Structure 1
Amino acid sequence: MRRLIATLCVLAPLAAIAADPKPEINRPASSPQQVGVAHTLRTIPEACARIEGQFTGQANPPYKFTFARTSATCQARARLVDAAKVKPDAKSGWIFNDLIRVPSAACPSQQAVVRIWRKAAEAAPPALDPQGRSRIYLKDATDQARAKGAPSLPQYAVAMAVEGKACGG
């Protein structure tokens, strides 16, 4: 019985990893991070956002995630949304984009995990004009927005969690 429990304890984290589909971006786990050291997990330039985090060294919360604007003058061309609210899946057009794993240097059995999905916009570029250029005229765009609503933006759904066993202390 003990051997079975030990085997299941080893296989449980592997099953969680296997449950994730293969992301578009293939990256190894990050280097272990020290407690209290802030680090960038991922920058999403289209959304003018950077996902940052740091291990706190506390039991609750063991890791702190934050979003930061990349620039005060940046004009977002995509939206960031909470994955828990939109529940991204392939059937609704979401693509599993990135899986980021950051182990704790102080507690190797614990890691911060960020899962990012993306959903392309439904908007298409305008047709080419007689000069072969794709142009958008302000009056035409505002008239179209009033008639159909604003064009959709690409979206990025972000889920952040801490996985693994907490260390005593």
Structure 2
Amino acid sequence: MPPIAPLALALLLAVPAAAQERPEISREPAKAQADGAAHTLRTIPEACARIEGVFTGQAEPPYRFSVKQTSPGCQPRARLVNADDVAPDPAQGWLYHDEIRIPSAACSGLVAVARIWRKPGTDTLALDAQGRARIYLDQAKADAEAGRVRDPAMYAAQLRVEGDACR
């Protein structure tokens, strides 16, 4: 075996699984954002959540993420969790859903990256004659008492900064 083959094999095995997968949503990097300008990375309507970020212009932390509620009256049909806490695994039903890359306008080597996974829930409801999914209180109570609880869909977000902060 030529000496280059073991090296190539070692490098291939060292690549993280997320880098080998392709997300369900394919998109170009977003427009570069200026320091101090808050911007939305991704809105997840099912979870009534919006992931917002801002480049700080500082060495530590160079970027700040936060999750905001989309509107006070929104009723979530899905949960948004931290990917570092749940460790999304395809064997457990997680799908690599989206990757958002936002470069810094002030520091060319700095990129904010949000990776989103989704796990479909078991809460799919049959549509009625009017095309609406309805939950009736009596039926929901009976299902809960019988131990038939529907799992909502879940989204997991991994928020990272890649590259070196400018000084």
Fold shared, TM-score > 0.5 on shorter chain: yes
Match of 2:160, SS state, is: strand
Aligned residue for 1:83?
Answer: 83
Q: The residue matched to 1:36 in structure 2 has which SS?
A: coil
Counterpart in the other structure of 1:163? 162
Question: What is residue 109 of structure 1 aligned with on the other side?
Answer: 109
1:58 aligns with: 58
Q: What does 1:1-169 correspond to in 2, within 5 Å?
A: 19-126=19-126, 136-167=135-166, 169=167
Structure 2 letter corresponding to 1:39: H
- 1:147 deviates by 1.6
Give percent identity, aligned residues only.
Answer: 52
- What's the RMSD between the two structures over aligned residues? 2.6
Tell me, in whole angstroms, the C-alpha distance in 1 between the residues paired with 2:132 and 2:154.
Answer: 27
Aligned to 1:8: none
CA distance in 1, matches of 2:28, 2:90: 23
Is the Cα contact below 8 Å between 1:97 and 1:116 reproduced in 2?
A: yes
Shift of 1:151: 1.3
8 Å contact from structure 1 (residues 126, 136) kept in 2: no
Contact kept, 8 Å, 2:23 with 2:96, in 1: the verdict is yes
Provide Cα deviations, 1:1-28, integer angstroms capped at 9, x if missing partner.
Answer: xxxxxxxxxxxxxx67982511111110
- CA distance in 2 between counterparts of 1:126 and 1:82 reads 30
Q: CA deviation at 1:160?
A: 0.1
One-letter identity of the residue aligned with 2:160? A
Provide runs of 4+ in structure 1 moved above 3 Å: 15-18, 126-129, 132-136
Structure 2: gaps of 5 or more residues: 1-14
Counterpart CA distance in 1 for 2:61 and 2:73 is 32
Corresponding letter in the other structure for 1:156: Y
Secondary structure of 1:166's aligned partner: coil
> Normalising by the residue count of structure 2, what TM-score does the alignment of the two structures yield?
0.83
User: Aligned AA for 1:143?
Assistant: A
Assess, with a 3 A threshold, how the Cα gap between structure 1 residues 17 and 54 changes in structure 2: closer, same or farther.
farther
Per mean C-alpha deviation after superposition, the further-off stretch among 41-50 and 15-24 is 15-24
Q: Which residue of 2 aligns with 1:9?
A: none
CA distance in 2, matches of 1:74, 1:89: 29
Q: CA deviation at 1:146?
A: 2.0
